[in-house]
Structure 1
Amino acid sequence: MKTLTLWQQVLYRLVQLIASWFPDPTERSFYQDAAIDFRIPYWDWATPPPPGEMVYLSEFAEPGIQVYGPRGWQFIANPLHSYKFRPLDPEVFSEGDHKFPRWTETMRAPFETSDNQSIAHAIEHARPALQQRLYTLLSNYKDYGPFSNKYWGIATNQSQYDSIESLHDAMHVLVGNRGHLFYIQYSAFDPVFFLHHTMADRIVAMWQVLYPMSWVSAQVAMEHSFTMPPGYAQDAFTELKPFYADVNGTFWNSAMARDTSAFGYSYAETSSSPGSNLAENQARLIATINRLYGPSGSSNPARKRRRTEAGRDPGARSQVRKGPISSKKVVDFSHDVDFVSKLITDATVYTEWVANVHVQNGALNGSFTVHFFLGEVPEDTTTWLAAPNLVGSMPVFAMKNMGSGNHVSGTVPLTSALMHLVLAEVISGLDPKETEPYLEENLRARVVGESGAEIPVDTIDSLHIQVASSQVRAARNEWELPTWGTVVERFVMRHG
C-alpha cells in the first residue's frame, strides 16, 4: 500500500504537470479539472471481459499508441507495453535467461521479442479459476492471517490453503512467463507490475470492508528483508521501513495504514455513501462482488430467479443426467459454465471440490508451477497453459538462492471442470461416492520449472497435494455471499 501510494503521488504530479502544458486556456482548464481526480488505475484480471475482448488488455501488446496531449495527436512508445532501460546495466540482470543482460526493454514470455499472444491465451484460459479463487477468498476467508499470506505451517488452518498472496503470485508467473515479471528482483520494471498490485490492494480493501474486525496479528518474519531477519517478531505496530509517515522520522506501521483513506484514496466498491452505515456498505459491496466475481448461478440469484419464473430453468435434478462414468469424451474446461444454478438443490446446497497444495518455497531454487489435468497430459509442455483439459495451476513465485525451507500453499478449484464433465455426461454428479474415485483415477499433476522443462513430481519430496470437498450453501440473494461448511479431505495424491 505504501509503495502504491508513493507511485500514485509521482504519477499524480506528472498528470498535473502535463495538464498545465495545454496552450489553449479553455482546454487547459478542462484537463486540469480532470487531473485533480486522477487516481492510479488497476487491471482487473478476474472479472469476465466484455464480449469480443480478452482479459489481457490489448494495450499491453501494442508497442506504440496514438495519444492526444498538449501537442495534439502524437504516436508514442506505449508505456504499458514495456519499460526501456536507459541505460541498460547488464550487471543488474544476472538471474534468468542469459539474454536478460542484453535486452534493452522488459519482456513477457520472451524469445527474441515478447510473445503477448501466448500470454493473452494463457490468461484467458486461467481467468475462470482466478475468478473462483478470488470469490472464495472474499466469501470464506474471514481471518486476515490465512487470507493475506501464502505461508503454510503446523498452525495453519488446515481447511484454508489459499491467500491473496498466492493469487497475486499466479499473475506474476502467468504474465511474466520467464520474462522480467517472472523474477522477483526484476518484476517492478514491467509496466503491468503496478496495475496488478493496485488490483491486489483493491482486493484487500474490499476484504477489509467485509471483515473489519480482523487485521495483522503477531507473527514472525518468514524470510529476510532489508530491514529484518527471518524469525523477527512483528505485529501491527512494527515499523514499515523505509516509509516515513511524517517529517519527524516516524515510520508507517500496519495499524496506521489499515484504511486506504489514510492515504487519501478509496475504491468505488469501498467508498461509503453519505449517511450509510457499515451493514449497508457491506450489502452494497457484496452485491458488487457477486456481480463481478461470483459464478453465474450464485452470484446473481435475481437473474436465476428470473430464469426460473420464465420457465427456462427446469432445476438441477433435470439438468444433471444420471449415467455411467465415461473416460472417452474430450471436454474443454477453458470456458465458463453456469455450474451453481445447475447444481443447487431445493436447500440451495452444492458440493465444492478443490485441490490444495503446499510445497517448500525453495524446492526448485526459483519459480515453478504445479499444473492439474483431468485425463491424458499433452507431451509438449509448451501447450499446457492452453490445453483444453487443464483444470488449473498453482504457481510458486520464488527467488533463486534464497534457500527457503518454508512451505507455501495455494488452491486450485475443481468444481467448474467437474461440472463440465457432468454436462457432458462423463460423470453423473458431484457426490463424493462417485467424484472421489473419478478424481483419484483421472486427476494428474505435473510440474514445470523455471526453464520451462517438466520436473518429475516424485522428485519433489516436499510437494503435498490434498483433494478436498465442502458442502456450500449458495447465496439466497444478491446481498449474500455463499456459506462454506467443513472442508473434508478426500484423498492425498501420491503421484502425478
Structure 2
Amino acid sequence: MVAYSKPQGFMSMLLTVFVLLQVTAAFSHNAHSHPAHRSPAAMDAHLQDTRSMLTARAGRVTTKGAPDGQYPRLEIRDLKKNADQWNLFLLAMERFQNKPKTDPMSYYQISGIHGRPFVQWDNAGLKHTGGYCPHSQNVFGSWHRPYLAVYEQAVYLNAQEVVASFPKNQQQRWQKALTGLRIPYYDWAAEPPRGEAAIPTSMRDQTVSVTKPQGKVTIRNPLYSYTWGASLPSEMGWGPSNGFATTLRRPVSNPTRSNNNAVNAIFGQARVGWRQRIFAIFSSKQPWGYASTAAYGVKTSRSNADSFESIHDDIHGTVGGTDGHMGYLDVAAFDPFFWLHHTNIDRLLSMYQLIVPNTYVVPGKVNRDMAQWNAGQTTDANTPLVPFTKDNRGGVYSSNDVKETRVFGYYYPETQSRNAKQVIQAVNKLYGMGERQMSKRDGEDAAPIYPGRPFQAGDYDTVLSVVGDKYAMPGSYQVHCFLGAQPANGTAPSHLPTGLVNGTAPTVKPTNGTAGNGTTGNGTGNYEYGFDSSYVGSHTFLGGSVAGSGNGTAPTLVEGCIPITAALQEKQANGELASLHPDHVEPYIKENLSYKIIGPNGQEFVPGDVANFHVQVKSCEVQPTTSDDELPEFKDYIELPRAHLPASTPWTYTPGPLDTTPDTPAETPEGYCVSQQTIRYVDPAGNFLYEEVTGM
C-alpha cells in the first residue's frame, strides 16, 4: 500500500510527533546558539513550514513496483497466452485509465510526469515549466526505470481492485492470475511469429472481449488509445490534431482517427533496420553510458553512431507520424503504446548491462531547464531521480539504486540468470542478421523487403549517420533514406530540393475500414514512404510541441543512424554490387543513395535550411562468429567522404556549455554527499539478492 493511503488518524498522530520534535530541536538550537535570531513570528513561520513539509512528505507515493516478489516481464504475445492473466491485465488497465485525474496514481497523472500538463507530481516540486523526463541526457535510461516501476505498481493495485470486484467464489481464480502479473513489453525489432503481423492485433483492435463479474463483455481496448473525455483538460495547454481528446497514431482526417494499419505496415519494413541497429550496438560493446543516450557530446570519444535512445526516438516518430501523440515528447506518455515500447527499451538496457557489466551512467550536464533540474547542473549515477521516492522519509532513488531491476520485483526472460551468455544467445537469435524472406509486409500492399543475411568474412556494416538539433522544430522531424529511385509522389529527391511536398499520399487502409488519403495539416503531403521498394529506413529527431530546448539557447545535438547493410546485401545478391567493402560501396552509394527531411505536417525541408544538421556515410569491418555464445566484433566506423550527400560537408564539433562529454568532472549536487558505498540489492520482501561497491 502506498504511503498516502494510510489511515488519517495515524498520520495525524505521526505528524504531531514529528512537528513537536522539530520544534523542540529548534528551541534547543536557539537556546544554545542563536537566542536573538528567532522571534515568535519567525518560530511560527518555521512551525508552519515544517508542518507543510511533513504533510507533503507523509503523503508522497513510495515507488515499489509490484509487491509480490520476483517475476518476469513478458513480451505482450507471451502474456496473452495466459488467458486469465491477460484478462486481468486488460481490466486493470481499463480501471487504471478511468481513475479520477486528481489521483496521483491515476493514468492521467502518471502519464503527465513525462511532460504535459507541466505540473508537479506528488508534491515533488517544480523548478521550471516542463516535464521530468531527461531525454538526451546521461540518466535517460536509468530515470525511466522507476518511472516504469510506478506505472507497474499502479497496474498491479488496479488489478487487486479488479480481483476484489469478482464474487468471492471466483476470487481464488483471479488471485492466482494476479500472482506475478507484470507489465508486458512489445519487441518491435524481433521477427513476429509466422502468420502474425508486425504489431499484435491486441494493440490495434479498438475493442476487446473480456470476462467481468457479469460475464463476457466487450470494452474499449485500453491498449488502443487513452481518452481524456469529451475534451482535452485546459491544464494540458496543447494537444496534437487541434487538441483531439483521444490519443492518435499516424492520424488521418475526415474524420480524425488513428491509422493503425499504416503503422503496422511500416513497422513490418522498419523492423529490419531496428533489428540491425540493436545487433550492432550489442556487438559494439561500448560503455553503457554511451549506448544509452542519443546526446552527441558523449559520443565524441567513440566511433559508433548509434544508441538505444536513438532507436527509441524512431519508434516514437514512426508511431506518431506527423501529428500523432507519440511524435511529441510532451504528450507521448498518454498513448498506451508508449509503455509497451519503453518497457522494451528498459529490457534492452538491462540486457546490455550484462554485456558491459563494469560500466554505467557517465557524468554529464543537464542540457535544458527541467521540472526538477536547472540547465548546467551536473548529474551522475548518484543524482536523485526526481520525482520517485524510495521510502516514507522522502528519499529519492538514484541511478545506482535502480541498477538492478529486481529492486522493483521484476526481470526479463533474457536476464533471469544474470548471465552474459544467456543475453548473447538471445541477441543472436532475435536480432542477428538473417531471417525468413517476407514477400509482403504483413499483408499490406507493399514491396518485398530483404531481411539481410548473416555476416561473412570481409563484410562491412554501413550506416547513414545523422546529427541534428533535437528541438529544431515544433514537433518531430524524420530523415527518410532511399537506395535507388525515390518514390514518384510529385517531389524531387533531396539532391535537387524543391521545398514543400505537394503530392498526395497513396491510399492506405485506415483502421476503421474507410478509405483515406493520409493527408494532414494544411494540405502538405503525409506520404507513407515505407511502402516503396527503394526505401531503406528512417531516423527521427524526437521533439516537443514547441521548438527550442526550454530556456536554454544552445542546440541539443543528438545522433543516430539509418542502417544500409541489409539493402546493400540485397544489391550484392542481385549482382548489382561486387561486395560490401567500402571500395565498392562508396561509389555505389554516391550514385544511388538519397534522403528526404520531413517535418511537422508533412513539410519537406532542404537540408541546408535545417540548422545543425549533418549526415555522413560510415562503415566498419565486421569480424563474424559462428558461435551462438559470441557476438561478432564491430571495428571502428570510418567515414566514406566520397559518398557525397547534401549536408555531408566535414564539420568540427565544438562542445557547448551544456553538452555532455565523457570526461565531465562529476560535481556533487547541492546538499548531496557521495562516498564509496556497498549497495545490497534486496527484493520487496527484504530478501538479499546480491551486492556491489559503487561511489567515489
* TM-score interval for Structure 1 and Structure 2 normalised by the shorter chain: 0.7 to 0.9
Structure 1 match to 2:184: 41
Any idea what the Cα deviations from partners look like across 1:49-91, whole Å, max 9, x if unmatched? 0112112121222211111232221111111111121352354
Structure 1 match to 2:147: 3
Structure 1 match to 2:138: none
Any idea what the Cα deviations from partners look like across 1:228-270, whole Å, max 9, x if unmatched? 1221111111111111111111111111111101111111111
Structure 2 match to 1:387: 532
Give how far 1:156 is off. 1.8
Structure 1 gaps of 5+ residues are 273-277, 301-331
Higher strand share: 1
Distance 1:141 1:334, change over 3 A: farther
Distance 1:459 1:156, change over 3 A: same
Contact 1:126 1:334 in 2 (8 A): no
Distance 1:87 1:338, change over 3 A: closer
Output the CA distance in 2 between the equivalents of 1:127 and 1:181: 17
Q: How does 1:325-474 map to 2 (within 5 A)?
A: 335-340=449-454, 344-345=456-457, 349-380=458-489, 382-404=527-549, 405-474=555-624
Output the CA distance in 1 between the equivalents of 2:298 and 2:172: 60
Any idea what the Cα deviations from partners look like across 1:371-429, whole Å, max 9, x if unmatched? 11012222435131322111111110012435231211001111100011111222222
- AA aligned to 1:247 is N
Structure 2 match to 1:109: 250
Contact 2:473 2:546 in 1 (8 A): no
Contact 1:472 1:482 in 2 (8 A): yes
SS in structure 1 at match of 2:423: helix
Q: How does 1:112-131 map to 2 (within 5 A)?
A: 112-131=256-275
SS in structure 2 at match of 1:236: coil
- AA aligned to 2:646 is H
SS in structure 2 at match of 1:394: strand
Flag as ranges the 4+ runs of structure 1 deviating above 4 A.
92-97
Give how far 1:117 is off. 1.1
- AA aligned to 2:528 is T
Any idea what the Cα deviations from partners look like across 1:173-221, whole Å, max 9, x if unmatched? 1111121111111111111111111111111110111111001121111
The alignment status of 1:222 with 2:367, answered yes or no, reads yes
Contact 1:333 1:391 in 2 (8 A): no
The alignment status of 1:291 with 2:429, answered yes or no, reads yes
Structure 1 range deviating more: 36-45 or 423-432 = 423-432
Structure 2 match to 1:76: 219
- Give the superposed CA RMSD: 2.1
Q: 1:260 aligns with which of 402, 405, 408?
A: 405
Structure 1 range deviating more: 56-65 or 168-177 = 56-65
Distance 1:105 1:206, change over 3 A: same
Contact 1:152 1:409 in 2 (8 A): yes
Rg larger in structure? 2
Q: How many residues are aligned here?
A: 448
Output the CA distance in 1 between the equivalents of 2:319 and 2:427: 24
- AA aligned to 2:451 is V
Output the CA distance in 2 between the equivalents of 1:30 and 1:60: 26
Q: 1:149 aligns with which of 288, 293, 303?
A: 293
Output the CA distance in 2 between the equivalents of 1:334 and 1:490: 29
Structure 1 match to 2:341: 196
Give how far 1:436 is off. 0.6
Identity %: 31
Give how far 1:4 is off. 0.7
Structure 2 gaps of 5+ residues are 1-144, 437-445, 490-525, 550-554, 648-696
Any idea what the Cα deviations from partners look like across 1:126-152, whole Å, max 9, x if unmatched? 010011111112221421222011111
Distance 1:285 1:480, change over 3 A: same
Distance 1:454 1:402, change over 3 A: closer
Q: How does 1:28-67 map to 2 (within 5 A)?
A: 28-67=171-210
Q: Select the structure with the greater relative contact order (CA < 8 A; seq sep ≥ 6).
A: 2
Structure 2 match to 1:134: 278
Contact 1:146 1:160 in 2 (8 A): no
Contact 2:473 2:548 in 1 (8 A): no
Contact 1:170 1:394 in 2 (8 A): yes
- AA aligned to 1:416 is A
Distance 1:155 1:169, change over 3 A: closer
Output the CA distance in 1 between the equivalents of 2:318 and 2:451: 23
SS in structure 2 at match of 1:166: helix
Please give the TM-score of this superposition, normalised by the length of structure 2: 0.62
Distance 1:223 1:495, change over 3 A: same
SS in structure 2 at match of 1:409: strand
SS in structure 2 at match of 1:451: helix
Please give the TM-score of this superposition, normalised by the length of structure 1: 0.86
